[in-house]
Amino acid sequence: MAITAGPLLSQISDPSDLRQLNRNQLIPLCDELRQFIIDHVSLYGGHFGASLGVVELTVALHYVYQTPYDLIVWDVGHQAYGHKILTGRRDRFHTNRKYKGLAGFPSRFESEYDTFGVGHSSTSISAALGMAMAARLKGEKERQVVAVIGDGAMTAGLAFEGLNNAGVSGTNLLIILNDNCMSIDPNVGALKEYLTDITMSHTWNRTRDELWRLLGKVGGEALQKQFSKIEASLKGAISRSSNLFEALNLRYFGPLDGHNVDHLVSVLSDLKHIHGPKLLHVVTVKGKGYAPAEKNQTKWHAPGTFDKVTGEIFKKPVTAPQPPRYQDVFGHTIVELAEQNEKIVGITPAMPSGSSLNIMMERMPHRAFDVGIAEQHAVTFSAGLATQGLIPYCNIYSTFLQRAYDQVIHDVALQKLHVVFCLDRGGLVGEDGATHQGAFDLAYLRIIPNMIVSAPMNEQELRNLMYTAQLPHIRQPFSIRYPRGEGVMPQWRTPFEEIVIGTGRWLNDGEDLCIISIGHAGNFVTNAIRQLNDMEIFPAHADLRFVKPLDEELLHRIFRKYRIVLTVEDGVILGGMGSAVLEFQSEHGYSVPVCRLGIPDRFIEHGSPKELYRECGYDADAIAGTVCELLNVRRLQHQQVKTS
């Protein structure tokens, strides 16, 4: 379905067209851009609230700066939809996050206006500082570099490392803090309170009101209007002595109304002529311009498709009991376990709703902690809790645990601390693309000494692994990874059972070939075996369950009995479960051929999970086809015989 842009937006093929508009046309352009985003996301899905909140800022930036020569770095990228639409991708925006379409985040491979590939938070300041330093070294005195950071990203350590370096760099760098008090969930921590204090300062508000009244008496409306232009500078001067950013040697301006596009243009135009590192603090509303998104900002971060008139978010019709999402199984199960074991606590870095730890936060607020976007801190905080006999369940998306790898090794595993890592979004996650695929955790965790590394095939297995992980005899780090989305068991609340560490499950016997799987991908194998059985092909199937320690007894049984082994995993082939099986084979002198299926040695872009499983060659059809090839069986012949 084609969506028509408004009369102003339809004229803009790139920012040079935008800069031809009069200033008085920017407000209606912002209205058109906001409506265009609403129209598209309501039909096609995607991130929503963050981009609505920066419409005016986006227009002002491309109006003032000579992009793409001037460089704008968007943090995370949730907020970059308007940027994409204004930079030559308007007519392709309906392909956003679709297979082979536009990426959901800025990508250097997609456009020269996307100066830095993003997806993980808090990288913008460091990247932009590098660009600004390069401009200085190359003698490009006129080039401007801007980092736009928001949606909670300022809480990460990397952001402060960048600020610390920027303050003494002498570069011509502008950092724009888009302050909306939100990441996906509401921001937490002292920095959030500090920014709120700056924005809501009673001293400043009282001073401003008194000046406003005085100027009205002396010079009337004209003088009050002039005062508005210097309000940001006055605010910076009044708060300078206690301003965190000024203390880091960054000239501070703000806070400004981030939805006043005319004022933003004026301030940005002035800041272009102020050399050195500086920070502009703008206050915005996530979901601005769409009432339901303003009222429930977490729900409307990425709502899926919806009726833009009524605000009804569309859900699939349900005609039978449905399997729950794995994250919800985690959320309910940790509460059950915590009710039985007072030592259990929950930790998440800014993803309480995304991980479903919010269930525990509501039931047991004193035992569940959102530490903000700070994965490194989340891991070492968990380690500190563990030293005192508590059992932290540290829930981090697989792709984000990569950011805390040193802490996992140095602060947890080296000290053999009892931290339970619950890795949500393990494997291919779909439309978020390469930055968010949970491809590497099985490989990067299994090489760490003292780690237990596991993956459940279904909801019951997840519950039992979580139960096992907190038992008194477990005195080391324990990792449990599971995928995004629904499981396979509508009746999932089963009694807890201990799983013996390092034991797999024998799911069915077979002939000639054995398939070894780990985690949710075992369900793809189950579906493939149904196809193969219809063709009178009967492979065996074993769920390895642990990639560390390995079930050596099970593997000996497989290599002694079967002439071909096929491994299947929803993770990278290099270094993953299949590699562990090959290492076992080599160490014990077996000569059985081993074929491995999983994520190939490249970054996997965006698309639906089903499309990506097919692309990577380990969906049910691909598994069945591989079995036929390994057994030298022609699938078509068998299918014809079966149906004749």
Domain termination site, one of 449, 481, 513: 481
Residue 318 lies in a domain: no
Distance between CA 15 and CA 535 in Å, rounded? 59
CA dihedral 405→410→414→415, nearest 10 degrees, is: -120
Residue 39 domain flag:
no
Distance CA 167, CA 152 (A): 21
**Confidence bin at 295 (pLDDT 50/70/90):** confident
Give the rounded percent of residues in the chain with a pLDDT score beyond 70: 88
347 is a domain residue: yes
pLDDT for res 142: 92
Q: How confident is the model at residue 516 (pLDDT cuts 50, 70, 90)?
A: very high
The pLDDT value recorded for residue 210 is 60
Output the pLDDT for position 303.
83
**Dihedral of alpha carbons 93, 99, 104, 106, sign:** negative
d(CA 587, CA 473): 29
Task: Give the residue-averaged pLDDT of 217-239.
Answer: 57
Average pLDDT over residues 229-243: 54
Question: For position 149, what pLDDT does the model report?
Answer: 94
455 shares its domain with 589: no
Number of domains into which the chain is organized:
3
How do residues 9-20 score in pLDDT, each as one tens digit? 999 999 999 999
Domain of 558, in residue numbers: 505-643
Instruction: Please report the pLDDT score of residue 637 as a whole number.
Output: 47
* 596 within some domain: yes
Domain assignment present for residue 312? The answer is no
Respond yes or no: is residue 375 known to be catalytic. yes
Q: Which of 286, 484, 545, 548 is catalytic?
A: 286
pLDDT band at 201 (very low <50, low <70, confident <90, very high): low
387: exposed, middle or buried (Cβ count in 10 Å: 0-12, 13-18, 19+): exposed
- pTM, rounded to two decimals: 0.87
Q: Are 148 and 282 within one domain? A: yes
* Range name among 32-41, 124-133, 305-314, 566-575 with the lowest pLDDT average: 305-314
Q: Which residue has the higher pLDDT, 400 or 309?
A: 400
CATH number where 596 lies: 3.40.50.920
Residue 408 has pLDDT above 90, yes or no: yes
Q: What pLDDT shows up at residue 187?
A: 54
**Cα separation, 537 vs 470, whole angstroms:** 41
| Pairing of β 452-454 and β 546-548 | antiparallel
Name the catalytic one among 32, 56, 231, 375. 375
Ranked by mean pLDDT, the top range of 126-135, 152-161, 233-242 is: 126-135
Residue where one domain finishes, among candidates 288, 312, 339: 288
36 located within any domain: no
| Residues 410 and 537 both lie in one domain | no
Distance CA 222, CA 41 (A): 42
pLDDT value of residue 280: 95
Q: What is the mean pLDDT of residues 482-505?
A: 96
pLDDT, residue 113, reads 97
In total, the chain counts a number of residues equal to 644
Q: How far is CA 400 from CA 241, 396, 405, 465, in A?
A: 36, 6, 9, 22
Give the pLDDT confidence score for residue 247 in this predicted structure: 87
pLDDT confidence tier of residue 222, bands split at 50, 70 and 90: low
Going by pLDDT thresholds of 50, 70 and 90, the confidence category of residue 49 is confident
pLDDT at 299 over 90: no
List the catalytic residue out of 90, 403, 481, 596: 403
Which of 532, 509, 507, 511 has the alpha carbon at shortest distance from 521?
Answer: 507
Helix, strand or coil, per DSSP, at residue 415: coil
**Residue 189 located in a structural domain:** yes
Q: Are residues 115 and 208 in the same domain?
A: yes
Residue 137 domain flag: yes
Q: Judge if 468 and 523 occupy the same domain.
A: no
Residue 1: what pLDDT? 61
% residues pLDDT > 90 (the chain): 75
pLDDT value of residue 644: 36
Answer yes or no: 403 catalytic: yes
User: Does 340 lie in the same domain as 219?
Assistant: no
Identify whether residues 512 and 461 lie together within a single domain.
no
Q: What is residue 312's predicted lDDT score, i.e. its pLDDT? A: 83
**366 plus 453 within the same structural domain:** yes
Q: What is the pLDDT of residues 21-46, one digit of tens each?
A: 999 999 999 999 999 999 999 898 88
Q: Are residues 170 and 222 in the same domain?
A: yes
Structural tokens at position 236: 């910076």
pLDDT at 190 exceeding the cut of 80 = no
Segment 224-240 shows an average pLDDT of 53
Q: Are residues 533 and 593 in the same domain?
A: yes
Instruction: Give per-residue pLDDT as tens, 432-460.
Output: 999 999 999 999 999 999 999 999 999 99
476 and 576 share one domain: no
* CATH number for the domain harbouring residue 370: 3.40.50.970
Position 360 pLDDT exceeds 50: yes
CB neighbourhood size of 58 (10 A)? 27
Instruction: Say if residues 246 and 44 touch (Cβ distance below 8 Å).
Output: no
What residue ranges in 182-223 does DSSP mark as E strands? none
Among 224, 258, 288, the domain-final residue is 288
pLDDT at residue 150 tops 90: no
Q: Catalytic annotation on 142?
A: no
pLDDT, residue 193, reads: 64
Shared-domain flag, residues 519 and 451: no
Mean pLDDT (the chain) is 90
Give the per-residue pLDDT at 638.
45
Least confident of 234-238, 502-506, 590-594: 234-238
